[in-house]
């Protein structure tokens, strides 16, 4: 037989019944035990939730910091590439303007002290390193 059918609630008894204080104390003890058990479960669940929330917050902060660092690096690379493109365009335009076709003219090698001398730059083979960059002064005849 189950205990639920035998159990008498204190609300069912008369106020002058001698069993009332004992039943009330048993009900109170049972209520306190259930309340304490529920409080313990809630507290442990709160701790678990706090740990999960804290770890997710830490992960979010780490991801944000990493994103900011990567964003800074990407912006620096983009700025560097823009500067390189601008410099390359400017250099190409300047060299294109200054380029002279020396095959059209009669030239002779001179010292750099003469007037209207041209510095001719070219690569030639030889030496221990392969190509050697050479400069020579030439003048129009």
pLDDT for res 57: 85
How far apart, in whole angstroms, are the C-alpha atoms of residue 94 and residue 134? 21
pLDDT for res 18: 78
pTM here? 0.33
How far apart, in whole angstroms, are the C-alpha atoms of residue 9 and residue 20? 9
**Higher per-residue confidence, 134 vs 3:** 134
Side-chain half-sphere CA neighbours of 21 within 13 A: 2
Which residues does 125 contact at the CB level (< 8 Å), separation at least 6?
131, 132
Q: Which of 40, 61, 58, 38 is nearest to 50 (CA)?
A: 58
pLDDT for res 137: 79
Q: Binning pLDDT at 50, 70 and 90, where does residue 2 land? A: very low
How far apart, in whole angstroms, are the C-alpha atoms of residue 107 and residue 135? 15
Sequential DSSP letters for 18-44: TTHHHHHHHHHHHHHHHHHHHHHHHHH
pLDDT for res 94: 64
- The label of the residue with tokens 């639920």 reads 4
């Amino acid at each position: 037989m189950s205990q639920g059918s035998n159990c008498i609630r204190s609300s069912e008894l008369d106020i002058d019944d001698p069993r009332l204080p004992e039943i009330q104390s048993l009900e109170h003890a049972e209520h306190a035990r259930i309340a304490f058990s529920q409080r313990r479960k809630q507290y442990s669940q709160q701790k678990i939730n706090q740990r999960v929330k804290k770890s997710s917050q830490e992960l979010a902060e780490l991801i944000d910091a990493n994103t900011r660092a990567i964003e800074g690096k990407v912006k620096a690379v983009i700025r560097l590439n823009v500067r390189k493109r601008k410099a390359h365009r400017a250099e190409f335009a300047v060299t294109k303007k200054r380029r002279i076709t020396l095959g059209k003219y009669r030239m002779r090698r001179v010292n750099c002290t003469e007037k209207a001398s041209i510095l001719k730059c070219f690569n030639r083979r030889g030496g221990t390193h392969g190509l050697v960059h050479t400069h020579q002064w030439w003048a129009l005849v």
